[in-house]
Structure 1
Amino acid sequence: MAGNPVTDAPLREVRRAVYRPVREGNALEDTVARLVQTIRLGVVAPGESLPPERELATRYGVSRDTVREAIRELADTGYLVRRRGRYGGTFVALPLPRPAEPVSVPLDELEDVLGLRRVIEAGAARAAAGRALEPEARADLWSRHEAATAAAEGDYRRADTLLHLTIAELAGIPSLVALAAENRARVNAWLDTFPLLPRNIEHSNEQHESIVAAILAGRPDAAETAILEHLAGSEALLRGFLA
């Protein structure tokens, strides 16, 4: 297999992507959006705490007042919980709020997001399979697969997301990780509007094993084919529930 060995810590690039500086001009809105992305991707799990306000302000390149206002907005809508005292801080709500009404997504918007997802994730799987992965990276990829397989229903989508983002990281293209994170956050917002299906979870885990095995075996064609077959299943559900 060609390419440079993977040496970055697991999900390091994902964390860089979700905590990168926001754009000037819409600091509050972009900070809210970045925090929501962090929640929907499961970078911070329900019940866990966000980094301190000072750290968030530094990472986003905004004032602490902007961070506080963004946190206040998300606390008011049920996504975050603020606690005072020795073990206080800002925590992701457990459970997260769910939409009160069914969601309908315009077909052109749905197809645009899903089409981009196919390009990003198939390319990431192919690139990861073509690299010389360090033992630590190989072990982490397999452990992400095992975590998804063992996950309880309430934590399954988070474990699934972290597996897919790990594959994006192993592609060795940092800018791809930011695109994958943004795209996955949009998809997760839609997936969270309808229930998990037990048979679909079982099938998804079988497909995950095929994807991971192809990457670890250094078979780019097989990795790409396996992940496209996997994505087709969730695409069918998304179209059925939302379009």
Structure 2
Amino acid sequence: MTASPTRKPIFSAKLASPLRLADAVSDAIAAALFDGRIAPGEALPPEGEIAREFGVSKPIAREALRQLTSAGLISTQQGKVARAKALNGEPLERIYGYAVRSSLERLREANEMRRVIETGIARLAAERRDQAGLDAMKQALADMRASLREPSGFTEADILFHLGLAMATGNSMIRVQMEGLRSVQREVSELFSRRANRTDADWNATIERHQAIYEAIVAGDADLAEQKIRVHFEAADIASFEVADKLAAAKR
């Protein structure tokens, strides 16, 4: 990609002096990514062009691109131009994954965070009912029924359901947060499914709790949606942490 002397500047940013220059450059580029001036998959200008547009050195531009890569906002490969990535929860998912696998206490904290977040999400989902989210939740319910007694498939269906819940709000930042929580959901769902005494009635009860959340959201009943997701978390907590405690005891 070559520089064009007549090209309209993409970033149009004046660097704020209190910030380190690389931070200011990465902030300006991130703003262009978030407001759509650079679309997902689109190539960013070369490092040298970025440096010229901001009036900084190439090492500063390079550091700014490194920051954006670490944040998961762009992808870079040796010898190739950087490209914008669609906003997603991958960086958060990695952080939460490290945390919940580190100790039972971190897992408890993460699930407590999920409960706080998802009760609010359920209310907003019932108020907005974005169709893409409702469709994802409906598909997840079908996948759960098809994956009865198959922990891996059931876990993925569970994750899809809660992502659909977030999508039903129509809020992209909430969707990203839920994507970030997938590692927590996976850990809890797998613990839940590892109970040796899990019966068909137990598997079906889990599906019915999800079904009740879905129906409350479809009906637009925010109070009922919040109530049903609280019931779901209470049941999931009891079962999953019962297993986790046994695993921790066995290690000791």
TM bracket, shorter-chain basis: 0.5 to 0.7
State TM-score, norm by structure 1. Answer: 0.54
| 1:162-184 alpha-carbon deviations (Å, 9 max, x no partner) | 01111111112211122222223
Question: 1:1-243 alignment to 2 at 5 Å?
Answer: 24=67, 27=70, 60-63=74-77, 105-107=103-105, 109-134=106-131, 138-152=134-148, 153=150, 154-192=152-190, 195=194, 197-198=198-199, 199-243=201-245
* Structure 1: distance between partners of 2:76 and 2:178: 24
Which is further off, 165-174 or 184-193?
184-193
Across the two proteins, how many residue pairs are aligned to each other? 155
* Structure 2: distance between partners of 1:195 and 1:125: 27
Instruction: Tell me the secondary structure at the aligned position of residue 220 of structure 2.
Output: coil
Q: How far did 1:156 drift?
A: 0.7
| 1:156-214 alpha-carbon deviations (Å, 9 max, x no partner) | 11111101111111112211122222223123135435615344321110111110100
* Structure 2: distance between partners of 1:116 and 1:64: 38
* Structure 2: distance between partners of 1:132 and 1:183: 21
Q: How far did 1:137 drift?
A: 5.1
1:104–1:242: 8 Å Cα contact kept in structure 2? Answer: no
For 1:172, the aligned partner's letter is G
For 2:202, the aligned partner's letter is N
1:122–1:227: 8 Å Cα contact kept in structure 2? Answer: yes
Distance 1:121 1:143, change over 3 A: same
Q: Say which structure, 1 or 2, has more relative contact order (CA 8 Å, 6+ apart).
A: 1
2:158–2:189: 8 Å Cα contact kept in structure 1? Answer: no
| 1:50-77 alpha-carbon deviations (Å, 9 max, x no partner) | xxxxxxxxx7423269xxxxxxxxxxxx
Q: How far did 1:242 drift?
A: 2.1
Distance 1:149 1:110, change over 3 A: same
1:113–1:187: 8 Å Cα contact kept in structure 2? Answer: no
* Structure 1: distance between partners of 2:66 and 2:170: 25
Instruction: Tell me the secondary structure at the aligned position of residue 128 of structure 2.
Output: coil
- Gaps spanning 5+ residues in structure 1: where? 1-15, 17-21, 32-58, 66-102
Which is further off, 228-237 or 206-215?
228-237
2:128–2:169: 8 Å Cα contact kept in structure 1? Answer: yes
For 2:67, the aligned partner's letter is E
Distance 1:226 1:111, change over 3 A: same
Distance 1:138 1:117, change over 3 A: closer
| 1:7-64 alpha-carbon deviations (Å, 9 max, x no partner) | xxxxxxxxx9xxxxx973995xx88xxxxxxxxxxxxxxxxxxxxxxxxxxx742326
Distance 1:161 1:64, change over 3 A: farther
For 1:146, the aligned partner's letter is A
- Gaps spanning 5+ residues in structure 2: where? 1-39, 41-64, 80-100, 246-252
For 1:218, the aligned partner's letter is G
Q: Which runs of 4+ in 1 moved over 4 A?
A: none
Q: Which is higher, the Rg of structure 1 or of structure 2?
A: 2
Pairwise CA RMSD: 3.1
